[in-house]
């Protein structure tokens, strides 16, 4: 991204991210959120507010993808920081009351799309609806909200990889291969379905923390694609790098996960091989969304770290 961007824009985004971290925002959240600065100019105050809000929400039990979608809505729809804080605390309150925060989040964000100027009123109406539903022992239906998360959670995968412990110098040294789970399927059996799934995301916009066809990020793309064929891998790219069997570049197969250092700080990006003969892979680009690209591209070759295989 930095190779292809106006240096003045890089400076603006980098300085905004620096100021957000200096003000106490968690660096791991700023890392993803600051990428939105390449879509539009975002004040450092907002990056700090969103990143701290992400930490507050997830620590209270709000699903990470719900908080990430709230941040994307705030960015895309020009919410004020005060409106975002209202939404954040509404989600935290719902989590503390034990409500279905995915369902509540969908209703809340849908309400903000319809009435963005009055977040307090949206929250008050929704809180009353959920309180009434709980008192009557009923459940509200899913709203017609298309965001970066799904209200209904898919059943757990049949095969789940547990990543190996990351070594202290994991930014330079690949982690060891963890023991494979039992009943690991063979690549030829699952590849047709896996290819269909990952290609179905082509054109999906990039949303940090997203997990749906309305918005997704790089590790979300690989995780959800494998989940559709009932193979569970971790959510974060560096943990995915500690999963599966290491594969040499000359032995790649379709479905292998390939990892890159795009930030100069170790694993920060992941894609999936889809056509080894042509050197093609699919990934969620933070500037272009989900696209197919060439591994031989100089940009990717200079940042390539390695590959992992999570099937037999």
Q: What residues are annotated to the active site?
A: 218, 269, 283
Burial 69-97 (b: 16+ CB within 10 A, else e): bbbbbbbeeebeeebbbbbbebbbebbee
Backbone dihedral angles phi then psi of residue 275, each to the nearest 5 degrees: -155, 90
Hey, how many other C-beta atoms are within 10 angstroms of the C-beta on 2?
14
Hey, how many other C-beta atoms are within 10 angstroms of the C-beta on 198?
26
Distance, in Å, from the CA atom of 211 to the CA atom of 207, rounded to the nearest integer, reads 8
Q: Could you say which DSSP state residue 243 is in?
A: S
Tell me the CB-side half-sphere exposure of residue 206, using CA atoms within 13 A.
23
Both tokens of 115, joined, read 């009435």
Distance, in Å, from the CA atom of 72 to the CA atom of 220, rounded to the nearest integer, reads 15
Largest CA distance in the chain: 61
């Amino acid at each position: 991204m930095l190779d292809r961007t106006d240096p003045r824009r890089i400076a603006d985004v980098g300085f905004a991210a620096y100021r957000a971290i200096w003000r106490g925002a968690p660096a791991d959240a700023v890392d993803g959120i600051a990428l939105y600065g390449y879509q539009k100019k975002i004040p450092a105050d907002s990056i700090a507010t969103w990143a701290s809000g992400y930490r507050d929400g997830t620590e209270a039990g709000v699903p990470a993808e719900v908080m990430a979608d709230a941040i994307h809505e705030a960015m895309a729809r020009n919410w004020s920081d005060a409106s975002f804080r209202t939404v954040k605390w509404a989600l935290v309150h719902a989590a503390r009351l034990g409500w279905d925060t995915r369902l509540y989040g969908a209703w809340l964000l849908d309400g903000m799309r319809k009435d963005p100027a009055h977040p307090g009123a949206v929250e008050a109406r929704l809180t009353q609806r959920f309180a009434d539903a709980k008192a009557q022992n009923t459940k509200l239906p899913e709203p017609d909200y298309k965001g970066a998360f799904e209200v209904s959670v898919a059943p757990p995968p049949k095969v789940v990889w547990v990543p190996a412990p990351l070594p202290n110098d994991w930014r330079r040294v690949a982690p060891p291969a963890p023991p494979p789970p039992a009943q690991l399927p063979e690549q030829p059996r699952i590849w047709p379905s896996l290819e269909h799934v990952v290609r179905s995301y082509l054109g999906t916009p990039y949303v940090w923390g997203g997990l749906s066809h309305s918005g997704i990020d790089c590790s979300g793309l690989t995780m959800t694609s494998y989940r559709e064929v009932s193979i569970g891998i971790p959510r974060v790219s560096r943990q995915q790098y500690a999963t599966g069997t290491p594969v040499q570049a000359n032995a790649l197969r379709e479905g292998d996960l390939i990892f890159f250092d795009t930030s100069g700080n170790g694993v920060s990006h992941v894609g999936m091989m889809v056509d080894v003969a042509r050197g093609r892979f699919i990934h969620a680009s933070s500037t272009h969304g989900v696209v197919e690209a060439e591994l031989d591209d100089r940009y990717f070759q200079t940042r390539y770290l390695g590959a992992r295989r999570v099937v037999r």
